[in-house]
Structure 1
């Protein structure tokens, strides 16, 4: 029986508080990004607040599904990062509660959010998307506000170009006005100049009322042909002139039926019906094209009656086209070539049009299939992003808006690039549509499982020291010793025993250097067939570390400085790569890999020879210091 415990309420409450904030932040960012794409077409049109409110409302509804995964990722990172930073997660684990049990309540809530995302995409999203696109088209078609600038031609009023040299902002009067009226056609242009003018909008907001004072009007006489060299014109001088210009400034909602072919305004059932219809239409077009092709391929040549009778009399079954063409006159050849060229051009145009129809149909089918699967993948992203964010927060143990935000942005960018790139390729036909749409899920789902597994096992995936140690080991980089005088010394070193051990270490190093040619090229076959450990070097290293540990209690600064010269001895790097003999043989057989390993081992043998000499010299120096200070 499922029981809700205080731990579940605590974890869920902590997550919900952060989720609410991150969701509205993500939604606001996506809405601003969406608005920025259309800001140039919407600014300056005097749109009412009601229209703008509808725009933001519908755009917000359509962007909820894409905002949810990022909000869940960021909230999960911050929640479990805060738990780790405040050692609350450590306390829960110390109480015997595994990480998956700690995440249980939030996992159920993430699944609920994924279901809500699917509901929005399948039920609310298509309706909101249609309203949004209808609103956008209507906003684009709305006439802009009349705001004629100074010193440039204003052409936003259809059929007119207006130039104003200066404007009086207090009275609204226009100075030195020049108007080109092309409403009756370019050949019958009217040119009007006035010293002053004023532009007003009529009460019905359907016309502009233009008042002009002290000016002249020029126009061509309509009875004259425009191709004549001298075109008479009429000139009119006026003190005051008034005219109406048709200008609809009202916002009119267009009919959104033209959007019915779009796949993003349909739910899954409607998309499935549309796909079946498009496939049936494409098949019918394909069958018609196939029948026409077969008819063109096997249709017999059309011959005149006289030619047919002549062929039958002479019992000719095969016609040599080249001979017939060569027997023609020059005029007949030209006529035949021209007719053939026209026929081929007509066929090419016809087939290009049919090819466009089939390609457009295939593109519509792929677009519908992609949007059908997108409703599922975007819902699953809510759950996948939680299983990425929560384990990452438990691993990095950093809360707040610093590291979690950076990691969230990086992961979401990877998701967005993979998803948009693969979907675009799939819609173009370069990839299977299902594979392309599910590519982001295929990439991120294993990543979420990996992080969840590592976090549940308390693995230090993002421990920098672990990676530093790995690369140091890979490239053979060692750290130096740092021996310092201890503030409190409980046991003094046994100098006599240490002196004797150092003597034994020096003798062992000298003996090993004589019996092993470390500076010479090693035997290639022996390296990849001998998988035994080097017990001598291991014993030398053990004795050296024990002696260093005992001498670290000394008060003599010179001995401490000498001990800093001791290297960290590698006991296996100069031998075979693996303990398994067959793996060594396999690496040795693969020549490129075996050669690299061979050179790598030779390098460590040279370093071991240098280390042995350093150990001998350092040990002798310490022995000499012990003897000089009479420490035993």
Structure 2
């Protein structure tokens, strides 16, 4: 099992040099799996040898009940169950966190040679993006680290890059230019091998990925219980969420995206209406100023006419008095009449222009009223949509909380049931060993691994899948493997005791 864990970690990108620091943690990771298996094998071999050598018959012939040689081993199973529970509940999560810290320290050693400082750190599972600086809205000296679980698989360095969010597809497009791919081997930065260079490349990263597992697997059982109590308090004061919270979460997410798109369209419409309203108001002000100017111009023309009329009357009076020669008076009278006629035409043009300007003014006034009404309706629609968005965000949060609550329950029961499998394996191992009556090592190992590989772990995996992907109760599906082993073991015990009595 230890070798299996090591090969798995090497496959995820860790090299043998860095593996030395992780060896103690690897034994901790292996212990919760290996201890129950070792107990089953030891129990089956021990009682199989006792039965094959007729020592059990000799013990019973001495008047010692079979229970006397079974009880101490059951107590040992309880002790090892408690020990494995402590490992799974408290020590293993802390060990996982230490592995994560060691791995991050190794990554920092790689980054130290390439990235002295950075302005931003962007987390987009399964990527971490480090940005050296930003020049004219362009990200410079970009480093992208890709994770598989807690282990780094790839590192990318690029001279520049950009991040674009696509709300419609709910994805993020990461475009990098002038860079190189490298594979971490956790040595010095200058020794990191280059896998290839590129001019430009683009990653599509889905948004909304559940990040809860990344943190909760580093939490102890007591921390998970405390976290669940906090979630229960939050859910207690909230509205009821359907039992099928995953469907509710997907539906809320879909509705939320739909309303956000509508809100985006309404915001664009609102900006357009505000722009049109601003133009109409400015045009209305211009028309008012124009009307005022035309009115002043009309008054000026009327004044010219009044002055010209007075001059005309004065000339006529002076002409009767004989002050002017006939030709001179006729010329002056004609000039004054032409001035009066010209000003009258000017007043007529001004009146027509004022009529047109007033029509434009009325049109703009009506347009302002229409735009104002449309803007008010748009603002009402935006307000309604914002309330709906808030409601669906609340539904999405509650559904996500319920999903996280279930995931925490799955993690808790998976750890406890795995630890208490020590007792289940001993319960079934003792009667199987007695029934087999074989001292052969291969038979003991074979029976143990048949139970482990073909009964227990398939049931455990099936239970985990059912717990993760369905809404079946967590306790029965995760404790089913232990329950079946206990029931089978008790049934064999009963037959064994019945046979001994007969």
TM-score by length of 1: 0.39
Q: Which has the higher contact order (CA 8 A, sep 6+)?
A: 2
Larger helix share, 1 or 2: 2
TM-score by length of 2: 0.49
